[in-house]
Amino acid sequence: MMSMLRLVDSVPSTNGRREEHQAQSLAVGAWLLECLPMGIVIKNDREIEKMREAGRVVRAVLDAVESSCVPGITTGELNRIAARELARGKARSAFLGYRQGGAPPYPAVLCTSVNRVVVHGIPSDRESLREGDIVGVDFACYKDGYCADAARTIAVGIVSAPASALLATTRECLDRAILECVPGHRLGDVGAAVESLAERRGYSVVRDFVGHGIGRAMHEPPSVPNYGPRGRGLRLQAGMVIAIEPMVNAGGPDVRLLADGWTVVTADASLSAHVEHTVAITADGPRVLTAA
Ligand code: MF3
Ligand code: CO
C-alpha cells in the first residue's frame, strides 16, 4: 500500500476483464480498505505553501526541459538542463538515488519516456529525440523538506495526428481528474474521471502504476489509481495532497519492465502518454501546486 507509482496488486477492475467472481469480491474488500484514511498526512496551510514553493521549482524545471525538446537533442542533455534549473531553484532531486523494488538506485534527476515508454525512462547521451516523437518528462524535488512532483508529455516538432490526439486526451484526463479534487468527493471519482474519458476515446489506462499522496515524502498514502468505481474509495478532505498521474496508452493497458529495472514500456509497443500534477484539496477547491 505504500510505495506509489507502484505495481498494484489488489485493486479492483471495473472493466469486467478480471473475469472471476471471487476476484470481484476481493476487489470490493480492497476498496473498503482503501476508504480508511490510514497513514494519510493532512497538511496545514503553511505546509501547502512549502509544497507550492517546491512546485514552482518543478514547473521551472519542466519549462526549461520542454523548451529544449527539439529534434536532435539527447535525453541525457535534457537531464543536464533539468539539473541546472534544479540547482538554480536551490532544491534537491527526489529521483536521483531513489530506490524502488529490487531496481538499482535511479541514476538521473529526470525521467524521459519516449514513444512506447510509459514512465521511468532513463535519460541517455545515446538517445536523440527525432521529429515526430513524443517524450514524457517527469520531475520531482524537495525544497525546505517538502516535495512536489509533475510530468508532461511533449511533442517533438510536428507529430502525427494520432500522437497529438493522444496527448490532448491525456491532458484532458488530468484536467477532469483535478476537477474532482474537492472535499467530500472520493478517490474513485478521480480515477473514474480519467478512465471514462480515456476509454471513450478508444485508449486504455495503465493499471499497474498509480499516482500517490505526497508531502514530506514523494510517496505517501493513498494510492491514486487512474480508474475506479465512481462514488467509492477514500473520501477526500481539505489538507490532503495527491499526485495525479494518468498514463494513457493508444493500445492495450499492459506494460512490461525492461532489464534496466526502471523503464516501463507498453506490451504492444503502442504509444503512451503521461502527465502529472501535485494537487492540494482545499475548502476552496483544487489547488494545483505544480501549475504556472
Ligand atoms: N513521478 C514518478 C513517481 O511518482 C517518478 C518516480 S521514479 C524515480 O513515482 F525513480 F525516478 F523516482
Ligand atoms: Co508521481
Query: CATH no. for residue 61?
Result: 3.90.230.10
Backbone torsions φ then ψ of 241, nearest 5 degrees:
-130, 125
Residue 85 belongs to some domain of the structure = yes
- Please work out whether the CB of residue 95 comes within 6 Å of at least one atom of ligand 1: yes
Residue 33 belongs to some domain of the structure = no
Which atom number of ligand 1 is nearest to the Cα of residue 111? 11
Residue 25 belongs to some domain of the structure = no
Contact by Cβ (8 Å): 140, 95 = yes
Domain extent, residue 165, equals 40-288
Distance 21 CA to ligand 2 centre (A): 32
Checking if the pLDDT of 17 tops 50, the result is no
Distance CA 119, CA 39 (A): 26
H or E element at residue 28: helix 21-34
Q: What is the pLDDT of residue 15?
A: 29
Q: What is the pLDDT of residue 158?
A: 98
Residue 198 belongs to some domain of the structure = yes
Mutation test residue for ligand 1: of 138, 174, 241, 257, the one with most atoms within 8 Å of CB: 138
Tens digits of per-residue pLDDT, 159-169? 999 999 999 99
Q: What is the pLDDT of residue 21?
A: 41
Mean pLDDT of 129-144: 99
Mean pLDDT of 55-73: 98
Residue 18 belongs to some domain of the structure = no
Q: What is the pLDDT of residue 34?
A: 73
In total, the chain counts a number of residues equal to: 292
Q: How far apart are the first and last CA of the chain?
A: 31
Nearest Cα to 147, choosing from 5, 289, 287, 6?
289
Q: What is the pLDDT of residue 35?
A: 80
Residue 154 belongs to some domain of the structure = yes
CA distances from 60 to 63, 225, 280 (A): 5, 27, 19
Distance 19 CA to ligand 1 centre (A): 31
**Ligand nearest, relative to CA of residue 122:** 1
Residue 46 belongs to some domain of the structure = yes
Tens digits of per-residue pLDDT, 176-220? 999 999 999 999 999 999 999 999 999 999 999 999 999 999 999
Mean pLDDT of 273-291: 99
Residue 6 belongs to some domain of the structure = no
β strands within the chain, DSSP E: 92-93, 111-114, 117-119, 134-143, 146-155, 204-205, 211-213, 220-224, 241-244, 247-249, 255-257, 264-266, 272-274, 277-282, 285-288
- Please work out whether the CB of residue 120 comes within 6 Å of at least one atom of ligand 1: yes
Tens digits of per-residue pLDDT, 220-267? 999 999 999 999 999 999 999 999 999 999 999 999 999 999 999 999
Which strands sit side by side in the sheet containing 117-119, from one edge to the other?
117-119, 264-266, 255-257
Q: How many domains does the chain have?
A: 1
Which atom number of ligand 1 is nearest to the Cα of residue 149? 1
Q: Identity (one letter) of the amino acid at 165? A: A
Q: What is the pLDDT of residue 171?
A: 98
Which atom number of ligand 1 is nearest to the Cα of residue 243? 4
The model's confidence at residue 37, banded by pLDDT at 50, 70 and 90, is confident
- Please work out whether the CB of residue 220 comes within 6 Å of at least one atom of ligand 1: no
Checking if the pLDDT of 281 tops 90, the result is yes
